[in-house]
Amino acid sequence: MRLTSFTDYGLRVLMLLGLRGGELVTIREIARSYALSENHLLKIVQTLAKLGYVEPVRGRSGGIRLAVEPTGIRLGEVVRQLEPDFALVDCMDEQRRADCVIASACRLQRPLARAMEAFLAVLDEYTLATLLHHPQRLKSLLAVGKAPEVRERASAQ
């Protein structure tokens, strides 16, 4: 199992917003922090907004911030909503099952499905707040709390 970069960065956006504690953050700031394309990031943020995790604020001094307290954001729930496909093998996908010559007799699906359930159950044990418990190192790496020109120099190094 490998999460898509969309889900990975969706979680990272939530982490950065959680570190900022309700302060408005621009797409540009997040893109610089993670060295990502603003266009790619915009799609992620739009999805997070539709799901109710982030609140966009329009206008000249707008940005985004968390719409839910970090304790209310379960990682498993976010992953379930952002990941497009949980079929670990082709036969777990209804449309691709017919391509497997042993599908009617194979017993691999059940253990793989249980493994995926266990994976998500572990993620359900964690909230965004868990990831932000000791934020100093993350804040330092993401240049949170530094002036924009300091952040630009830090990301250039």
Mean pLDDT of 90-95: 74
3-class secondary-structure state, position 84: coil
Report pLDDT for 145.
67
User: Architecture of domain 5-86+127-152 in CATH?
Assistant: Orthogonal Bundle (1.10)
**Model confidence at 125: pLDDT above 50:** yes
Residues 12, 34: contact at Cβ < 8 Å? yes
d(CA 46, CA 122): 27
d(CA 128, CA 125): 10
Report pLDDT for 157.
46
93 band by pLDDT with thresholds 50, 70 and 90: confident
Domain boundary assignment for the chain: 5-86+127-152
